[in-house]
């Protein structure tokens, strides 16, 4: 559907709201994903789904309803369901819907090549990966996805937003008889993803990661790749970058306090061109740049309208779709680049470990930012500044803040990750590699 079609549906829904204020989000997504295993495509899917989300606010009560899929003849049902939910809710303090606000400052990231990507294009890109693996005597596994989203938000106060955005991602794992490798790339434009370069990276890592040897668990100096840092940043965000988590005293963030190294600056920037720019949040508020950690010092957190009101400040434009009891969300998280190359980070380590990737990371103690997980598909011993033998995967149990307090270097190069699955709002994470003084591997 075109944006014009979506505006038309949104208007029809709002016209039906019987009283009070209404907010409608119309989201039309067309997504495709080609999955491969053992050097062949084994799953290959596409879906086109339209979702309507209506919030009615009236008389101190809020009701929400959504319909998805076959929405066209369900506009009346949608309004009736939202109004029914509203009418039975006890009256309380509710947030007014946002005013129209300023014009959308920049367009969402969009590439027509991604929006029109064909199954043949995806298959041919996959063939580059599987071909390289086969040539090296390895087996390739992974997925290439492409998607386009068209979204509009209308509310009764006259707010009107629209965005047309695309994303694509290629993930590859290569496996030999005694170990594997991993690589991924994301881009707004699928034709900017260099499948051959990715194939070269994943095959190279896999070949080096054969016959890994055991290593004693303990504290090691480490260089973490961008893939691993991306995962750390996401967990840091879930554990404490929202205003609500600070309000509820479950966040590690203590504004003004220095918790990390001078080398660490973390921010959320919906306009960053290197990522996947997206100009507004799920309430239609313009998303602003928020510096979360500035040279190791805790600064600000992100808000939706509700937590911002309680904090006495304007929303930063980081709302998720309602109802949401988790508060604002950093959908465009980034760590600022450093001034070293990844090779320079490695060359500074006398005796340590290089970690390609984390796996199955879970929060163990959010206030301490303690996480646990495994290394996977490429953990290497660093000796005298050089990557040496592969070591067997290790479990880590580590406070992220403590680890980043000991940062010894940050890479210039950063990778963008636009997760295929994410809880957010067209997420992107931009992460460099880092060198850390100490990281605890527990088993």
How far is Cα 147 from Cα 117, in angstroms, rounded to an integer?
A: 8
Return the number of the residue (70 or 384) whose C-beta is nearest other proteins.
Answer: 70
Residues written for the chain = 443
How far is Cα 380 from Cα 415, in angstroms, rounded to an integer?
A: 20
Return the number of the residue (96 or 413) whose C-beta is nearest other proteins.
Answer: 96
Q: SS3 for 311-348, per residue?
A: HCCCCCCCCCCCCCCCCCCCCEEEECCCCECHHHHHHC
> Quick one: which of 77, 71, 64, 62 has its CA closest to 27?
71
50 binds other proteins (CB under 8 A): yes
CB of 350 to other proteins, least distance (A): 28
Neighbours of 15 (CB within 10 A): 10
Give the x/- contact pattern for other proteins in 276-295, rule: CB under 8 A. Answer: --------------------
CB of 115 to other proteins, least distance (A): 15
Binding residue (CB under 8 A) for other proteins from 7, 12, 16, 31 = 31
> Are the C-beta atoms of 334 and 277 separated by less than 8 Å?
no
How far is Cα 288 from Cα 302, in angstroms, rounded to an integer?
A: 9
63 binds other proteins (CB under 8 A): yes
Range in contact with other proteins (rule: CB under 8 A) among 79-87, 228-236, 275-283, 378-386: 79-87
How far is Cα 113 from Cα 115, in angstroms, rounded to an integer?
A: 6
CB of 37 to other proteins, least distance (A): 4
CB of 144 to other proteins, least distance (A): 10
CB of 40 to other proteins, least distance (A): 3
Return the number of the residue (143 or 159) whose C-beta is nearest other proteins.
Answer: 143
Give the x/- contact pattern for other proteins in 192-231, rule: CB under 8 A. Answer: ----------------------------------------
Binding residue (CB under 8 A) for other proteins from 9, 24, 25, 85 = 85
Segment 400-439, which members bind other proteins (CB under 8 A)? 420-421
In the block, residue with structure tokens 């490798």: 181
Segment 95-124, which members bind other proteins (CB under 8 A)? 118-120, 122-124
Binding residue (CB under 8 A) for other proteins from 7, 14, 21, 46 = 46
Omega cis (within 30) before 323: yes
327 binds other proteins (CB under 8 A): no
Return the number of the residue (173 or 408) whose C-beta is nearest other proteins.
Answer: 173
How far is Cα 171 from Cα 140, in angstroms, rounded to an integer?
A: 10
Tokens of 268: 């959320």
270 binds other proteins (CB under 8 A): no
In the block, residue with structure tokens 């973390």: 266
How far is Cα 22 from Cα 53, in angstroms, rounded to an integer?
A: 10
CB of 423 to other proteins, least distance (A): 11
H helices present in 209-279, as ranges: 226-240, 243-247
Binding residue (CB under 8 A) for other proteins from 14, 37, 291, 405 = 37
Segment 234-253, which members bind other proteins (CB under 8 A)? 248-250
Binding residue (CB under 8 A) for other proteins from 161, 185, 235, 376 = 376
What DSSP assignment string belongs to 146-185? Answer: EEEEEEEEEETTS-EEEEEEEEEEEEEEEEETTEEEEEEE
Number of residues that bind other proteins (CB under 8 A): 90
176: β partners: 179
How far is Cα 305 from Cα 315, in angstroms, rounded to an integer?
A: 5
* Half-sphere exposure (Cβ direction) of 275: Cα atoms closer than 13 Å: 27
Segment 127-166, which members bind other proteins (CB under 8 A)? 127, 130, 139, 141-143, 145
Binding residue (CB under 8 A) for other proteins from 3, 363, 389, 406 = 363
Return the number of the residue (384 or 443) whose C-beta is nearest other proteins.
Answer: 443
Q: Report phi then psi at 192, rounded to 5.
A: -85, -10
Binding residue (CB under 8 A) for other proteins from 15, 18, 40, 116 = 40
Binding residue (CB under 8 A) for other proteins from 15, 106, 360, 388 = 360
């Amino acid at each position: 559907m075109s944006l014009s079609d979506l505006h038309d549906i949104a208007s029809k829904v709002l016209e039906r709201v019987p009283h009070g204020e209404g907010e409608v989000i119309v989201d039309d997504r067309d997504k495709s994903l080609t999955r491969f295993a053992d050097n062949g495509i084994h799953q290959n899917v596409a879906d086109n789904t339209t979702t309507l989300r209506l919030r009615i606010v009236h008389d101190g009560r809020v009701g929400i309803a959504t319909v998805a899929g076959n929405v066209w003849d369900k506009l009346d049902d949608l309004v009736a369901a939202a109004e029914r939910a509203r009418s039975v809710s006890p009256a309380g303090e509710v947030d007014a819907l946002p005013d129209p606000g300023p014009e959308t400052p920049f367009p969402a990231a969009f590439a027509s090549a991604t929006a029109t990507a064909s199954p043949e294009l995806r298959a041919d890109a996959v063939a580059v990966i599987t071909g390289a693996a086969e040539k090296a005597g390895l087996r390739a596994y992974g997925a290439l996805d492409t998607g386009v989203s068209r979204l509009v938000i209308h509310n009764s106060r006259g707010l009107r937003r629209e965005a047309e955005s695309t994303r694509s991602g290629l993930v590859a794992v290569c496996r030999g008889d005694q170990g594997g490798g991993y690589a991924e790339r994301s881009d707004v434009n699928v034709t900017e993803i260099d499948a051959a370069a990715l194939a070269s990276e994943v095959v190279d890592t896999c070949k080096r990661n054969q016959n890994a040897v055991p290593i004693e668990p303990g504290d090691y100096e480490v260089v973490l790749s961008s893939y691993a840092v991306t995962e750390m940043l996401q967990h840091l965000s879930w554990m404490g970058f929202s205003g609500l988590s600070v309000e509820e005293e479950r966040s590690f963030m203590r504004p003004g306090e220095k918790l990390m190294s001078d080398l660490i600056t973390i921010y959320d920037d919906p306009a960053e061109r290197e990522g996947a720019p997206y100009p507004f949040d799920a309430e239609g508020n313009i998303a602003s740049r928020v510096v979360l950690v500035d040279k190791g010092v805790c600064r600000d957190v992100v808000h939706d309208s509700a937590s911002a009101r309680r904090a006495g400040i304007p929303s930063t434009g980081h709302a998720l779709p309602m109802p949401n009891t988790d508060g604002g969300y950093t959908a465009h998280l980034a760590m600022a680049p450093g001034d070293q190359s990844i090779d320079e980070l490695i060359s500074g380590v006398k005796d340590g470990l290089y970690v390609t990737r984390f796996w199955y990371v879970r929060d163990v103690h959010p206030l301490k930012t303690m996480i646990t997980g495994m290394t996977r598909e490429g953990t290497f011993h660093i000796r005298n500044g050089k990557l040496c033998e592969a070591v067997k995967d290790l479990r880590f149990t580590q406070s992220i803040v403590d680890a980043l307090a000991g940062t010894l270097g940050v890479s210039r190069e950063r990778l963008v990750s636009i997760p295929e699955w994410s809880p957010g709002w067209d997420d992107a994470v931009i992460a460099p590699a880092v060198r850390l003084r100490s990281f605890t591997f527990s088993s």
